[in-house]
């Protein structure tokens, strides 16, 4: 039924975009997935970048309101407070350097970093979308290049 996701170019693009939208996974898995299923390197990179960036404006715009709403329920309050605490801990490092710190947080493709974490930290630190979005996009581009170089080798790409 969903075989077209791995057999057609459009399907591979869509699957790569969707995988790259998932928190934690992001383009760290999106790029290798796209290349592994036959997309050229540059197409996998672009699809993963697009997928990784799709949720970011929504996170920056809506996260605080969603968190406040979720805190009104006993079952979700603990999870939200835990996420806020993690963001504050990462935010302490970012707060000292603001924009450069946010870029570094997003650009290093390790667990606990990335666009979702960067958007969460930017929201907690009240870095406005006008500043945060281009910084996060540049960080995602950098992380994507790092993932591409590490997972597929400099010689293979060049």
| Digit-coded pLDDT (tens) for 120-142 | 889 888 888 999 999 999 999 99
Question: What is the mean predicted confidence (pLDDT) over 85-101?
Answer: 77
Share of the chain above pLDDT 70, in %: 94
Question: What is the per-residue pLDDT across 63-74, written as a single tens digit (0 to 9) for each?
Answer: 888 888 989 998
pLDDT > 70? residue 154? no
Q: Tell me the domain boundaries of the chain.
A: 4-53, 56-147
Q: How far apart are CA 65 and CA 34, in angstroms?
A: 34
Contacting residues for 138 by C-beta, under 8 A, at least 6 apart: 103, 106, 107
Higher pLDDT, 6 or 79: 79
**Alpha carbons 50 and 43: distance in angstroms, whole number:** 11
């Amino acid at each position: 039924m969903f075989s077209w996701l791995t057999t057609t170019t459009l399907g591979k693009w869509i699957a790569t975009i969707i995988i790259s939208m998932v928190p934690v996974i992001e383009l760290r898995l999106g790029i290798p997935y796209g290349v592994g299923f036959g997309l050229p390197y540059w197409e996998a990179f672009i699809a993963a970048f697009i997928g990784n960036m799709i949720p970011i404006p929504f996170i920056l715009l809506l996260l605080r309101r969603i968190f406040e709403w979720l805190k009104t329920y006993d079952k979700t309050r603990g999870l939200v407070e835990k996420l806020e605490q993690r963001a504050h801990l990462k935010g302490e490092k970012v707060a000292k350097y603001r924009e450069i710190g946010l870029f570094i947080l997003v650009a290093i493709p390790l667990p606990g970093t990335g666009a979702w974490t960067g958007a969460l930290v930017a929201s907690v630190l009240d870095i406005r979308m006008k500043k945060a979005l281009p910084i996060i996009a540049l960080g995602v581009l950098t992380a994507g290049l790092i993932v591409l170089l590490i997972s597929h080798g400099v010689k293979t790409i060049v």
